[in-house]
Amino acid sequence: MTQGVSTAYSDQMLRDAAARTLAEAAPNAALVQDADASTAFAESHWRLAAEMGWTGIMVPESHGGLGLGLAEAADIVEEMGAQLFCGPYALSAVLLAGLAPRFGAVGDALLQELAEGKVRLGLATAEPICDAAERVVLPLIEHAAGASHILRMERGEAGVDFVLYRTAGATSRALQPMDPTTPIASVTLAPDAEMARASCSHSEAERLLLPIHVLTAVELVGIARAAFERAVAHVRQRKQFGEVIGRFQAIKHRLADGFTLLSHARLAVSDAVQRPGDLDAAQIARVIAADAAMKITADCIQLHGGMGFSWETDAHFYLKRARRLHASFGGTAALRKRAGDRFIESLLTPEQAAFSAAGADRSEVV
């Protein structure tokens, strides 16, 4: 770990155990040889997470889980980001665990199965369509390979529906992913695939998504940390003009910038983890972590020279995962705008707020 930028959110022993376990199961070397190896690693990584009890980390003890919190999950997720864990861990163990109580009796069974590692959640990231036989087709599913369930968010004017499908009886067609560590597919569902639906307001949906924003930020910090460490290791041994390139001032400045970005991201993420109910802290942390990860992973490739763009190293895997997470759940641009709007509204007097709302209504009419 890079000194000064990696500290536990909750329990150093938990983080150290996760780091050791995940380092032994890291897919990097195999992925450099064959990007399709991610599907096999998704299976083995999920078994590992279940054996370690991580899948039930936020499941109540009454349902067979560990009954721990977001801080403990964050310790694991950062190491997953650093070691390119292949699988929908945060989606399943955190987002689904938070949604399950809204699914009634179905949710109770889900929690039990989640604690046992039997639930892996695919995420629908595009609107459904109907095929010629009037079957529902979900055209883009992340983590489709091996998923036991699929979650889709149906947004409307009144609010958001979280729709849960079972994958039994479904057929899928693999697609080419931008991030090789996250397989995607088009899935055609069975007629009775929908098993639960939870409706909520837009503000409630934001609250339900808060933990996934925090853990996405945490994973981005892990990605940025791993890329930064790889860049430092490379410039310490790579020579040009008879000199180690780490001696060049331009290289030093780029690494100093990366270290600063990583440190700032960790501070923002640590604050969000310690304030699990603060929506602004969660969304701002994700924006800062995404900015840091995008810059650091791109710089890592640049510092590797032409080799960083090829399959000779694992540097590009970190850039691709950072880019995917940067765009997930509507992207960070939307989060930046919402956090900014809330901050501005907090500074307005009641009269100013009423005038601003009236102006927004008029602009919508126009």
pLDDT at 66 over 60: yes
pLDDT value for 8: 79
Q: What is the pLDDT of residues 157-214, one digit of tens each?
A: 999 999 999 999 999 999 999 999 999 999 999 989 999 999 999 999 999 999 999 9
pLDDT value for 271: 96
pLDDT value for 10: 83
- As beta bridge partners, residue 188 has 137, 171
pTM, rounded to two decimals: 0.91
pLDDT at 131 over 90: no
Q: What is the pLDDT of residues 242-269, one digit of tens each?
A: 898 888 999 999 999 999 999 999 999 9
pLDDT value for 341: 85
| Sequence letter at residue 337 | K
pLDDT value for 305: 87
Cβ 174 vs Cβ 202: under 8 Å: no
pLDDT at 1 over 70: no
CATH number of 204-347: 1.20.140.10
Domain ranges of the chain: 12-200, 204-347
Cβ 224 vs Cβ 188: under 8 Å: no
pLDDT at 351 over 80: no
Cα separation values, 250 from 71, 73, 246, 247, 297, Å: 37, 38, 9, 9, 17
pLDDT at 22 over 90: yes
pLDDT at 46 over 80: yes
Please name which of 162, 186, 165 lies closest in space to residue 174, comparing C-alpha atoms: 186
The Cα–Cα gap between 236 and 28 comes to 21
pLDDT value for 45: 96
Q: Give 348's pLDDT tier (boundaries 50, 70, 90).
A: confident
User: Tell me, which fold does domain 12-200 have in CATH?
Assistant: Butyryl-Coa Dehydrogenase, subunit A; domain 1 (1.10.540)
